[in-house]
Structure 1
Amino acid sequence: MFVWQYLTLLLLITVRIYKAQKCDEFTDLDFHHSLIGTNLEVRLLLYTRAHETCGKLLSHSNPVASPHFNLFGTTTFVIHGYRPSGSPPVWLGRITQLLLARKDMNVVVVDWNYGAANLNYFKVVENTRQAALNLTSFIKTMQEHGASLNSIHMIGVSLGAHMSGFVGAELNGKIGQITALDPAGPKFTGTAPEDRLDPTDAQFVDVIHTDMDSLGFREPVGHIDFYANGGGDQPGCPKTIFSGQAYIKCDHQRSVFLYLDSLNRTCTIRAFPCSSYADFMDGRCLNCEKFGAAGCPVFGYDVTKWRETLVGLPQTKAFFTTNIGSPFCRTNYRLDILTWNQETRWGYITIKLFGDGKDAVATINHKASKFKKYTETQLLAQFDKDLQSVQKVSIKFSTVNKFKPKYKLRVLRIRLKHLERKQRLLCRYDVVLEENEETTFRPLPCGEESNF
């Protein structure tokens, strides 16, 4: 008899342990669900440092029922967008782990896959309103139990960005921060601010645009709007429809992977406030003095260091370019070239830096640059990696001339200035560049007259 009692007790303990350790998973649907359509259901999955990879389903009416939910700490809501395939987002586990690595917080994944999985996109757009009301009710319950709206950060992807805005509007713009990753464009472009995300929806709204010509939103909708590679086509993404799904979603999804890089501190992406991408690429927006010692703002999780300054400014548009894959960051230099050719030359510059056993390349070919006698041409050189020290430099001047004799570019001075790190300027004097041939030299410290 004693043995049976012991076994029963052991079984009960095992069941309780299993229940305590049971993980709640993001809803996994398939194309069949999208084909027939799904009705809205909102599930809130909590991840904490105690359970980084194990979601715990929260009660909408009683958030304090979860012993791991810290009402008085930071709560970050992660909200996905349209899910026509019905599958969970591939980036979901990564973003929760990286957020928790940055800070001890509540990460709440807003699972509205039932409602987002539907071939009828217009119905999904309608569902964002109802899902936002559901989430607003939960946050109000948090408030009633002592949580502060200041400590709430919402990260919304595509439709999730506008959903975050609807929640913020319902809470009178008092939540701490909304981060919008390529807000959806279809059905939102051209609408009034109350029908989409806008800067009044939170105390601070930061936005990244990566697919404004297709699935994303073009116009600025935050306190600061970052336009990666101009906000449209992203490097490394397919250019033709023959690539299948990747052609449709690669640019749009790039916003998430850029944000993951910022969370992972893989590298820092410095962005330059500017009126247009063309002016940025032409090197006309390299002065960041209005941001003080911190310099131009960085994209991603750490943009909050510039929060007070940005909130006090009109809506800011900032631009940067990226590599084709992670690490996405590039290193920015200002390149000045002073020439003494009798005739004006037009062409492109490729420059390489060598040091630390590595090399970094910048190709300035978005348009032909003008080189006029005794006139300094200022260029923005964006290198694919950062070198702590530069021992050698090579530079190549090229044109599109196919049948004419090769030009020479006679240079009085080449000058390089790192735009993100204070270090000695690098110069070289009296160099002749043969068209389409690399000229390599060791840079010299610039004279005092070169400090700019």
Structure 2
Amino acid sequence: MFLWQYLTLLLPVAVQICKAQKCEEFTDLDLADAIIGTSLKIRLLLYTRHNATCSTLVSHSDLSAHPRFNSSKPTTFIIHGFRPTGSPPAWLQRLSELLLARADQNVIVVDWNHGAANVNYFKAVENTRKAAGNLTAFVEMMKEAGASLGSIHMIGVSLGAHLSGFVGANMKGLIGRITALDPAGPQFTGSPPEDRLDPTDAQFVDVLHTDMDALGFREPLGHIDFYPNGGADQPGCPKTLLSGGAYFKCDHQRSVWLFLDSLERTCASRAYPCASYKDFLSGDCMSCDRFGAAGCPVFGYDVTAWKDVLLRLGQTKTFFATNTESPFCTTGYKVEVMIWNKDVRFGYITIKLHGKGEEAVATIDHKAAEFNKNSETRLLAQFDKDIRSVKKVSLKFSTGNPLKAKQKLRVLRIRLSHLEHKEGPLCRYDILLQQNKEVTFKPIPCEESNF
């Protein structure tokens, strides 16, 4: 009898311990659920430094019931987008862990898979408004519990970007920051500001565009808008339907992988303000003077270091280039070429930088460069990695037309200037480039008269 009474007393305690240790999982649905259609249901999954890999469910109505939520700490919401197959996003756990590594904060994954998982995209769009109303009520409760609206950061992906904007608008733009990762275009393009994300939805809005010609939004939506590789086709993504589902989602999802890279600080992607991607590639936008000593803004999590100047400048459209995979950041050089051929030459340049046991390559081929005698041609070279100590340089000239007669490019001077490092530029004089033949040389510091 005593044993039974003991077990009866112990059982509720054991249940509570099990509940405390239970890890809540993101809702896992499948294509069948999406075909049938799902009704909106929102679950808030909390991660902190005490449970960085094991989320707990937060009540929509009583924050005091959740001791791990600390209203005095910053809070970041992660809001996913359309889920046509119902599967959980592959990047959620990594994003949560990286955010917690950066700051002691509350990270809340907004699980609205019930509502986003639907083959009917229009129904998912409709649910963004309803989900925003639910999340607004939760933010209001946070505010009543002492949380500062200015310390709230919302990271919205695709439809989640506009959902974040709706919450921000409901809170009169007082939320600290909204990061929009390739905001959805269909059903939002051409909409007025109140029906989509816009800069007034938060104190600071930063936006990344990676698929503006298909699933993403083309026009600027924030205080700063980043357009990697022009904002459309991303390097390394499939170009044909033969690749299956990756053809449709690779460019769109690249926004998340780029943001994850910025959190890891593997390297930094400097973004340059420019009117168009064409002008950027042509080397017409390499000046960062308007940003002062800090230089042009760095894409990603740390762009808030430029917040004050960006708010002063107004909406700023920026471009940068990436590699095909992580680490995505490239290294930019200004390249100035002067030739002494009698006749004009048109062609492409490939440059290799050789360091100690490593090599970086940049091919300038977005259009045929025009080279004129005694006239400096300025180019932008984007190398796949940063060689801090350049020992040798290789050059190759090509016309891109194998049917034309072989040409030579007689280089009077080539000057390479790193766009970020303060070291002086590297030069070489009197080089003869035969078409499609690589020439390697040791660069020297440029003479003062040539600066």
TM-score (norm 1): 0.98
Residue 287 of structure 1 corresponds to 287
8 Å CA contact retained: 1:211, 1:233: yes
Q: Which amino acid aligns with 2:317?
A: K
Q: How does 1:232-243 map to 2 (within 5 A)?
A: 232-243=232-243
1:119 and 2:119 are equivalent in the alignment = yes
The alignment partner of 1:382 has SS state of strand
Residue 449 of structure 2 corresponds to 449
The alignment partner of 2:155 has SS state of strand
Residue 83 of structure 1 corresponds to 83
1:162 and 2:162 are equivalent in the alignment = yes
The alignment partner of 1:95 has SS state of helix
Residue 110 of structure 1 corresponds to 110
Q: Which moved more, 1:441-450 or 1:384-393?
A: 441-450
1:131 and 2:137 are equivalent in the alignment = no
Deviation at 1:9, TM superposition (A): 5.1
For 1:356 and 1:262, locate their aligned partners in 2 and report how far apart those are by CA, in whole Å. 26
Q: Which amino acid aligns with 2:445?
A: P
Residue 149 of structure 1 corresponds to 149
For 1:16 and 1:157, locate their aligned partners in 2 and report how far apart those are by CA, in whole Å. 35
The alignment partner of 2:108 has SS state of strand
For 1:256 and 1:146, locate their aligned partners in 2 and report how far apart those are by CA, in whole Å. 31
1:144-197 CA-to-partner distances (Å, cap 9, x unmatched) read: 111111000000000000000000111111110000000000000001011000
The alignment partner of 1:349 has SS state of strand
Residue 260 of structure 1 corresponds to 260
Residue 94 of structure 1 corresponds to 94
Q: Which moved more, 1:25-34 or 1:4-13?
A: 4-13
Specify every segment of 5 or more residues in structure 1 that has no aligned partner in the other structure, as ranges: none
Q: Which amino acid aligns with 1:223?
A: H
For 2:148 and 2:64, locate their aligned partners in 1 and report how far apart those are by CA, in whole Å. 14
Residue 26 of structure 2 corresponds to 26
For 1:213 and 1:64, locate their aligned partners in 2 and report how far apart those are by CA, in whole Å. 46
1:8-58 CA-to-partner distances (Å, cap 9, x unmatched) read: 555444332211111111111111111111110111110001001111111
1:423 and 2:433 are equivalent in the alignment = no
Q: Which amino acid aligns with 1:77?
A: F
The alignment partner of 2:286 has SS state of coil
For 1:143 and 1:22, locate their aligned partners in 2 and report how far apart those are by CA, in whole Å. 28
Deviation at 1:241, TM superposition (A): 1.0
Residue 186 of structure 2 corresponds to 186
Residue 225 of structure 2 corresponds to 225
For 1:413 and 1:27, locate their aligned partners in 2 and report how far apart those are by CA, in whole Å. 61
Residue 251 of structure 2 corresponds to 251
Residue 340 of structure 1 corresponds to 340
Residue 48 of structure 1 corresponds to 48
Residue 362 of structure 1 corresponds to 362
Q: Which amino acid aligns with 1:427?
A: C
Deviation at 1:405, TM superposition (A): 2.9
Residue 277 of structure 2 corresponds to 277
1:174 and 2:140 are equivalent in the alignment = no
For 1:425 and 1:5, locate their aligned partners in 2 and report how far apart those are by CA, in whole Å. 83
Deviation at 1:404, TM superposition (A): 3.4
For 1:401 and 1:190, locate their aligned partners in 2 and report how far apart those are by CA, in whole Å. 42
For 1:325 and 1:283, locate their aligned partners in 2 and report how far apart those are by CA, in whole Å. 24
1:14 and 2:14 are equivalent in the alignment = yes
Residue 391 of structure 2 corresponds to 391
Q: Which amino acid aligns with 1:294?
A: A
The alignment partner of 1:51 has SS state of coil
Deviation at 1:412, TM superposition (A): 1.0
The alignment partner of 2:352 has SS state of strand
Q: Which moved more, 1:12-21 or 1:363-372?
A: 12-21
For 2:356 and 2:64, locate their aligned partners in 1 and report how far apart those are by CA, in whole Å. 53
Q: Which amino acid aligns with 2:339?
A: T
For 1:115 and 1:102, locate their aligned partners in 2 and report how far apart those are by CA, in whole Å. 31
Deviation at 1:141, TM superposition (A): 0.8
1:320 and 2:320 are equivalent in the alignment = yes
Residue 439 of structure 2 corresponds to 439
- Counting matched residue pairs gives 451
For 1:447 and 1:6, locate their aligned partners in 2 and report how far apart those are by CA, in whole Å. 89
8 Å CA contact retained: 1:354, 1:392: yes
8 Å CA contact retained: 1:64, 1:71: no
Residue 311 of structure 2 corresponds to 311
8 Å CA contact retained: 1:76, 1:105: yes
Q: Which amino acid aligns with 2:332?
A: N
For 1:6 and 1:41, locate their aligned partners in 2 and report how far apart those are by CA, in whole Å. 40
Deviation at 1:298, TM superposition (A): 0.7
For 2:342 and 2:393, locate their aligned partners in 1 and report how far apart those are by CA, in whole Å. 26
1:192-249 CA-to-partner distances (Å, cap 9, x unmatched) read: 0110000010010000000000000000000000001100011111111121110111
Residue 197 of structure 1 corresponds to 197
Deviation at 1:425, TM superposition (A): 1.1
8 Å CA contact retained: 1:356, 1:388: no
Deviation at 1:402, TM superposition (A): 2.1
TM-score (norm 2): 0.98
Deviation at 1:314, TM superposition (A): 2.4
1:45-104 CA-to-partner distances (Å, cap 9, x unmatched) read: 100010011111111111232111110111000000000100110111110001001111
1:63 and 2:41 are equivalent in the alignment = no
The alignment partner of 1:34 has SS state of helix
